[in-house]
């Protein structure tokens, strides 16, 4: 999600909704701020389970690392499942 974290006010207002969405999500949700974040916005996002990035390159690298991990894990788990099936 692309957002501005210059002010904590919108995050304070939506604190409970942010938490509900974070808990219900079946996929990771990343926050990228195109502005310098204020400390309270960072705290709220952290408390509600959202990683916050201020650099798009770092955000994309994190997503790529997670995708790579999943791919390697699925290959690993798949090879072990075949061992136990015989």
The count of structural domains within the chain is 2
Residue 69: how many other CB atoms lie within 10 Å: 10
Kindly state the tokens that stand for 65. 């690392």
What distance in Å separates the CA atoms of residue 21 and residue 28, rounded to the nearest whole number? 11
What distance in Å separates the CA atoms of residue 84 and residue 51, rounded to the nearest whole number? 37
Strands (E), the chain: 2-3, 31-33, 52-53
Which domain covers residue 86, as residue numbers? 62-86
- 13 and 35 both lie in a single domain: yes
- 47 and 74 both lie in a single domain: no
> What is the average per-residue pLDDT within 26-30?
91
- 36 and 15 both lie in a single domain: yes
Q: What is the pLDDT of residues 4-15, one digit of tens each?
A: 999 999 999 999
What distance in Å separates the CA atoms of residue 67 and residue 22, rounded to the nearest whole number? 19
Output the pTM of the full model: 0.74
- 45 and 75 both lie in a single domain: no
């Amino acid at each position: 999600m692309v957002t501005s974290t210059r002010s904590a006010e919108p995050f304070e207002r939506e604190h409970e909704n942010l938490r509900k969405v974070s808990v219900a999500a079946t996929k990771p949700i990343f926050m990228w701020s195109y502005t310098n974040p204020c400390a309270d916005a960072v705290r709220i996002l952290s408390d509600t389970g959202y990683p916050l990035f201020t650099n798009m390159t770092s955000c994309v690298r994190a997503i790529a690392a997670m995708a790579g991990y999943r791919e390697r894990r699925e290959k690993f788990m798949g090879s072990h499942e075949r061992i136990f099936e015989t």
